[in-house]
Amino acid sequence: MKIIEVKNYQEMSQRAAEYMIEKIKSTPNLTLGLATGGTPLGVYQHLIEDHKQNGTSYAEVTSFNLDEYIGLAKDNPNSYYSYMYENLFKHINISPERTHIPSGMNKDLQAECEEYENKIEQHLGIDLQILGIGSNGHIGFNEPGTSFQAKTHVVDLAQSTREANARFFNSLDEVPTQAITMGIQTIFKSKEILLLVSGKAKQNAMIQLLTGDVTESFPASILKQHPNATIIADEEAMLGVKDNSLFK
């Protein structure tokens, strides 16, 4: 696992976006794995700016998002469908039929999970997966304790995850209790992974990730076994690691 330390959120976003843009230019039919949450917003802003200024084309790009809340319709402003549309898709020339986000409204959630996993396989997997990390080490919505073998599945969200995400909702009560997420196996099969980490809230997660064991109780730890995973972390996120005796 390669670690690139950058100064702050802006630099993290810029570095990640530049890397993605280069990949898209060299492989126009790239299959991207996309994430939501606060972390990738700056990356998406850079991609939009670059698309407007330099015309980088997404016409042949396919995307798969990591996850979606169960029970939120596409037009709910807090659905990840809305997030992706508002924060990226409507600003670039990606074809809607090439963008994939699991549906949390399917009455048969099991079938939805299987279909999503199959679609990823039909596209021969994800070329470049963008990830954030939860303060509890989750990737996608794979909460601590999730099997490393898991494929796309339904999860009960950890209370800490619901509390962290309540900032996007009117109240904690409105945060869904379940989601569909790509599994850890699904994520791990990506050819390349870019994990973005910024800010104080992620300091403990970084300590655990970089100094702890590979264990299902800290899902992101599996990334240490991935052949092509890179972390771009800012100074604030890395502060605890630097203070940690193992790194002295």
The smaller minimum CB distance to ligand PGA, of residues 109 and 201, is found at 201
CB count within 10 Å of CB 232 equals 23
User: Contacts with ligand PGA: how many residues (CB under 6 A)?
Assistant: 7
* Burial class (CB within 10 angstroms; exposed 0-12, middle 13-18, buried 19+) of 135: middle
> Annotated catalytic, 115?
no
The smaller minimum CB distance to ligand PGA, of residues 56 and 143, is found at 143
Candidate list 112, 143, 234, 236, residue with the active-site label: 143
Closest CB 161 distance from ligand PGA, rounded Å: 7
For residues 78 to 117, the per-residue mask of contacts with ligand PGA, x marking binding by CB under 6 A and - elsewhere, is ----------------------------------------
Strand runs (DSSP E) across 15-166, as ranges? 31-34, 62-65, 67-69, 99-100, 128-131, 153-156
DSSP 236: H
> Annotated catalytic, 51?
no
Give the DSSP H or E segment for 197.
strand 192-197
The whole-angstrom separation of Cα 22 and Cα 87 is 20
Judged by CB under 6 A, does residue 38 bind ligand PGA? yes
> Annotated catalytic, 138?
yes
The smaller minimum CB distance to ligand PGA, of residues 21 and 158, is found at 158
**Residue of 13, 31, 39, 62 interacting with ligand PGA (CB under 6 A):** 39
Closest CB 102 distance from ligand PGA, rounded Å: 16
- CB distance 153 to 181 below 8 Å: yes
Closest CB 57 distance from ligand PGA, rounded Å: 27
> Annotated catalytic, 142?
no
* Burial class (CB within 10 angstroms; exposed 0-12, middle 13-18, buried 19+) of 122: exposed
The smaller minimum CB distance to ligand PGA, of residues 111 and 172, is found at 172
- CB distance 179 to 70 below 8 Å: yes
> Residue 64: helix, strand or coil by DSSP?
strand
CB count within 10 Å of CB 85 equals 17
Candidate list 46, 67, 100, 153, residue with the active-site label: 67
For residues 114 to 143, the per-residue mask of contacts with ligand PGA, x marking binding by CB under 6 A and - elsewhere, is ------------------xxx---x-----
Residues that bind ligand PGA (CB under 6 A): 37-39, 132-134, 138
Residues with catalytic roles: 67, 136, 138, 143
